Structure 1
Amino acid sequence: MKSDLDYIKHIHGEILFLKEEFNKTNKDLFLINNVLKRAFVRSIEIIGEASNKLSDSFKKKYPDPEWRKFSATRNHLIHGYFTVDYDIVWDLVENKIPTLHLQITEILGKEKNLFD
């Protein structure tokens, strides 16, 4: 069974991928690149799934990331895949992922210190 720290590491890895790929492109190129669009959606799905797997006690300890919103986004992408709005995907990566990156990095620092 994976620990909360394992799930946070998964989230962090997907954030790093999204940021790296985001910095290599622009919205117009993103919108015509089917591989990149699918990769972004998949990373967001993984973030949502990992957020959903975190224990309630962990979410209470760290309420700042909007865990429920990331889980809901994942559910929308998984269950409404015929209607993915890639403008919204781009906006999420551009405007929400940087904040999540800061929050997850802070959580990782605190949690890793517990095991050092």
Structure 2
Amino acid sequence: MRDDRERLRDMLEAIAKIEKYTRRGREVCQEDELIQTWILYHLQIIGEASAAMSEATRARHPELLWQDMSDFRNVLVHEYFRIDVDIIWAIVQGELPTLKNQIETILLDNPRKLL
């Protein structure tokens, strides 16, 4: 069973994989269906990891929008017809860098102890 630390690392890995292709710019991402699918898949991983996080970790780190990430994953999976590429791009550019920094801080501040 994966622990919270592993789930946070999963989230960081998903962010890194999203960054790999979004560095090419918005136009490239909007024109390439495979890149869009890649981004959506890794956003789902972030949401799934968030949903699986323990209540203790969620309580200790309320600065992360755990429920929002989980809810967004549900939209991506179950309400895919509502996906708006402009909203996805805004999340990737505006929210993922902050999330990345928050997760890195949590992992650095808690190198060995439980989160």
TM category (shorter chain) comes to over 0.9
Deviation at 1:19, TM superposition (A): 1.9
Question: 1:65 aligns to what SS in structure 2?
Answer: coil
Match in the other structure for 2:4: 4
Contact preservation (8 Å) 1:5, 1:111: no
Q: Which TM-score applies when normalising by structure 1?
A: 0.92
Q: Which TM-score applies when normalising by structure 2?
A: 0.93
The residue correspondences of 1:16-95 to structure 2 (distance < 5 A) are 16-23=16-23, 25-95=24-94
Alignment-mate amino acid for residue 15 of structure 1: I
- Alignment RMSD: 1.3
Higher helix share: 1
2 CA distance for matches of 1:29 and 1:12? 23
Question: 1:2 aligns to what SS in structure 2?
Answer: coil
1 CA distance for matches of 2:20 and 2:31? 18
Q: Which has the higher contact order (CA 8 A, sep 6+)?
A: 1
Deviation at 1:113, TM superposition (A): 3.9
Match in the other structure for 1:109: 108
Contact preservation (8 Å) 1:51, 1:71: yes
Q: What is the percentage of aligned positions where both structures have the same residue? A: 27
1 CA distance for matches of 2:19 and 2:94? 11
Contact preservation (8 Å) 2:12, 2:103: yes
Deviation at 1:111, TM superposition (A): 2.6
Contact preservation (8 Å) 2:15, 2:96: yes
Alignment-mate amino acid for residue 72 of structure 1: D
2 CA distance for matches of 1:77 and 1:33? 18
**For structure 1, which segment, 27-36 or 45-54, has the greater mean C-alpha deviation from structure 2 after superposition?**
27-36
Q: Aligned residues, how many?
A: 114
Match in the other structure for 2:13: 13
For structure 1, the 5+ residue unaligned runs are none
